[in-house]
Amino acid sequence: MRSGISISLPFLSTVVAALFSSVTGSPIKVPRDLSTTSIPSYVLDYAPLVWLYSDDEYRPSDIGQQVAHTIPEVNWKEVEGALSPLTLDNLDSLNDLGNTSVYLTSKEGINATIQPAWFNGVTPDDQGKTNGAVSSAIIVRDHGDGTVDAFYFYFYAYNRGNVVLGMMFGDHVGDWEHNMIRFVNGVPDAIWYSQHSDGEAFSYTATEKNGQRPIAYSGNGTHAVYAISGNHDHTIPGLNFNNGLIVDHTDQGVLWDPTLSAYAYSYNADTAQFQPYDASYPVSWLQFNGQWGDDKLPGQKEIFGQSKYSAGPNGPKFKKLVRKDVCPSGLCIVRTDLGP
């Protein structure tokens, strides 16, 4: 028998966030539906959809919860004088206490014998939404001449590295990856796929699509972003072969729609300031100069200067938001085919 009570999806999202907050001890902000904000509609209409690897245990994660589960450290010592609690609304206060040397260090430690559950993130539901986790940020930079760059940032609490010569390399806490689509007069022209220290650019017409939305594939554990499924050797940055020494693996595991649980901002290149598309979105975290994870553990075995546990990454503002070409730097080749 029906009760006659109607429950809206936004209400359910709020309930999920409240329940998650009661477990973690830190509030989660449920972002406003992006389609109701002033973000350009084409930024959402052509936003990438991401295939997560089927067996990847490290899913997209809540950006704010990363702060709640970590302690700011410099040289492996807790920062004195830090605000408590640290949140996305005051994270940039750490800039005065250590600037780029501050690491958001996991309370359990990157080498914990039993990894904490929050490393695993949230698996998207059947609609592709990470319920209870704001796991994406969209940043829009308008060049002022009809050219607009839309950055789609994807956040994961943990990065699992690659096996090389029988040894695991590159595990780290915190992981930022992104696509960037360059629009010309509201029409998508080219798209960048970030991959470790480099990436690849393709014309929009070349990419796989779901409707008009381009497809991205997330590497197993590393979350590097690729244009096709399969194996991807990245031994040489910027080159992508089927096989090699350092290989990422992608497939059509779980489909994620990052726009369903995201914050969104415009970026002023002249002032280096971020403006939220809704007043409820936190802003200060975008100005944080430090690293989103533990510092590299000292005393590790190394091969070619690489070790099992590496340092966490810096945030979106360091990902070349101001760029001439669709590529962040260097010679920019925009490919028109998806082959290796």
pLDDT one-digit tens code per residue, 106-134: 999 999 999 999 999 999 999 999 999 99
> Which residues does 223 contact at the CB level (< 8 Å), separation at least 6?
56, 58, 154, 156, 159, 175, 177
CA-to-CA dists, residue 62 to 24, 244, 317, angstroms: 12, 33, 18
Q: Which residues pair with 175 in a beta bridge?
A: 156
Q: Per the domain annotation, does 16 fall within a domain?
A: no
pTM of the model: 0.90
Q: Does residue 23 lie in a domain region? A: no
Flag whether 3 is in a domain. no
What does each of the 340 residues of the chain score in pLDDT, given as a tens digit? 333 333 343 434 443 444 444 444 444 555 668 999 999 999 999 999 999 999 999 999 999 999 999 999 999 999 999 999 999 999 999 999 999 999 999 999 999 999 999 999 999 999 999 999 999 999 999 999 999 999 999 999 999 987 776 677 889 999 999 999 999 999 999 999 999 989 999 999 999 999 999 999 999 999 999 999 999 886 666 667 676 567 899 999 999 999 999 999 999 999 999 999 999 999 999 999 999 999 999 888 887 778 899 999 999 999 999 999 999 998 999 999 997 6
**The pLDDT value given to residue 175:** 98
* Domain containing residue 252: 34-335
Is 11 part of a structural domain of the chain? no
Q: How many domains does the chain have?
A: 1
* Residue 17 lies inside a defined structural domain of this protein: no
Q: Return left, alpha or beta for 253; rule: phi > 0 is left, psi -120 to 50 is alpha, else beta.
A: alpha
CB environment 277-291: b (16+ within 10 A), e (fewer): bbeebbbebbebbbb
- Residue 14 domain flag: no
Distance CA 272, CA 64 (A): 22
- The answer to the question of residue 251 being in a domain is yes
Residue 28 in any domain: the answer is no
